[in-house]
Amino acid sequence: MRPSSLMRTNRLALGIALTLATLGARAELVTATATGQPWTLNGQAALTYQASKNAVSLLNVTNAKASSQDASITVSYHVMPSPTPKLTSFAVGALGVQSVTLETSDRSLHGLQLSGSFTVKQETDSFTSSEDGSLTVSNLQIDLDQKKVFATFTGTHGVGTIERLSLFDIGTVSAAPLNLAPPPLSGGSGFGWYGYGGAQTTTPTFGQQVLLDSLSVQLGSLSLTQEGAKAWSQALAYTPIGNTALASVQDWGTLGTPAVPEPGTWALMGLGLVGIAGLKRRAHTRTATATMAA
C-alpha cells in the first residue's frame, strides 16, 4: 500500500492504541491522550452540549450572550410577537475528545477530556446583573466514576482562572464499551498507534486499538454544583434576582455523542424520500395534463 493510502486509512480508522504486556494482564485504568488535534471521526468522536429549556430561559431572563472561537454554537430564536428575539434553543457542538480513560479488562469508559470552550457575556441591566461581566468554560473533564464534569473556569469580578472547577453533577449516565480492532500488520508505525501501560523499555507483545467511531456516551440531568453556581454568579455580577433565576435551573441539559439513526430509521427515511418523490412526479404529471387539455 502506498504512503498516501496509508494516510487515508489512518484518517478513516483514527483512534487510540492501548498496549498490554500480555493477554492476561490485570485490569487497570489507562488514559490515552491525543497528540496535536483532538480525535474526531465522522462526527462520532465529538460531543455536544444541549441546554435545557430552563437553562435557555436563564439566558433570556438575564439577556446573556454566548459565543465560542473553537466550538460550534447553535442557537434558534423566536422573533414574533416580541420585538426582541427570544432564544428558544442553545447548543455547543464539536467538542473533540482530547483524552479517554478506559478499563483495560472490559473497555468500559471511565473518563473523557474534551477540547473547545464557550464564553458567556452579561450586560448590566440593574435587574439581574449589577455590572458587565463574562465567564469562559473550557477543558471539560468528565469523570464517570464521580459522576462530575470538571472544567477550567475563567471569570471577571475577581474570579480569575480556576483549574478543574467542579461545574456539573451528572444525573444519568449511558456509556457503551468501546470496540477494539486488531493491531495493524505493519506494527503500527504508519497508523498513529501508541503504547500505554507497562514498562516503556519493553516491547509489547499484544496491542489493541480503541476506535473512537464506536464512542457512545450520554450524560443527562446535569446540575450546577455549589462551586459552579458561586463562580457563575460572581463572574456575571448577579443581583439577588439573578441568583434566584440561577438557582431555579435544576436541569442544565445533556452532554453526549450525536445520536446515529438505527438501520430501520434509515430505511424509513429512504421510504419517505421515495414517497415524496412520487408525490412530486404525480403533481407534475397532473399539471402537465391540465396544461395540455387547456
pLDDT of 132 higher than 70 = yes
pTM flag (> 0.85): no
Co-location of 24 and 86 in the same domain:
yes
Co-location of 112 and 13 in the same domain:
yes
Co-location of 242 and 270 in the same domain:
no
Co-location of 73 and 144 in the same domain:
yes
Residue 126, Cβ neighbours under 10 Å: how many? 8
Residue-wise over 105-124: b if at least 16 C-beta within 10 A, else e?
Answer: eebbbbbbbbbbbbbbebee
Q: Please tell me the predicted confidence (pLDDT) of residue 152.
A: 98
- Cα(102)–Cα(54) distance, integer angstroms: 33
- Cα(251)–Cα(228) distance, integer angstroms: 14
The residue ranking higher by pLDDT, 294 or 252, is 252
Decide: residue 61, CB within 10 A, 0-12 exposed, 13-18 middle, 19+ buried. Answer: middle
Q: Please tell me the least confidently modeled range out of 15-19, 52-56, 76-80.
A: 15-19
pLDDT digits (tens, 9 = 90+) for 151-189: 999 999 999 999 999 999 999 999 988 876 654 443 333
Co-location of 185 and 105 in the same domain:
yes
Of the pLDDT bands very low, low, confident and very high (cuts 50, 70, 90), residue 195 is: very low
Mean pLDDT throughout 178-201? 42
pLDDT digits (tens, 9 = 90+) for 23-77: 344 568 888 888 778 876 654 678 999 999 999 999 999 989 999 999 999 999 8
- Number of Cα atoms under 13 Å in the Cβ half of residue 180: 17
pLDDT of 253 higher than 80 = yes
pLDDT of 249 higher than 90 = yes
Co-location of 255 and 279 in the same domain:
no
Co-location of 290 and 168 in the same domain:
no
Contacts of residue 88, defined as CB under 8 A and 6 or more positions apart, other chains included, come to: 56, 76, 77, 78
Q: Under a CB-based contact definition with an 8 Å cutoff, are residues 56 and 86 in contact?
A: no
Phi/psi at 285 (5° precision) = -65, -45
Q: Under a CB-based contact definition with an 8 Å cutoff, are residues 128 and 93 in contact?
A: no
What total of structural domains would you count in the chain? Answer: 2
- Cα(197)–Cα(182) distance, integer angstroms: 17
Co-location of 15 and 121 in the same domain:
yes
Q: Please tell me the predicted confidence (pLDDT) of residue 82.
A: 63
Q: Please tell me the predicted confidence (pLDDT) of residue 182.
A: 55
Q: Please tell me the predicted confidence (pLDDT) of residue 209.
A: 61
Phi/psi at 148 (5° precision) = -135, 155
Co-location of 174 and 242 in the same domain:
yes
Cell digits for 46? 465529538
- Cα(39)–Cα(212) distance, integer angstroms: 8
Co-location of 210 and 289 in the same domain:
no
Of the pLDDT bands very low, low, confident and very high (cuts 50, 70, 90), residue 278 is: low
Q: Please tell me the predicted confidence (pLDDT) of residue 15.
A: 46
For residue 282, the enclosing domain spans 262-294
Q: What percent of the chain has pLDDT over 70?
A: 65
The residue ranking higher by pLDDT, 101 or 201, is 101
Co-location of 71 and 172 in the same domain:
yes
Co-location of 182 and 266 in the same domain:
no
pLDDT digits (tens, 9 = 90+) for 204-232: 233 456 677 778 999 999 999 999 999 99
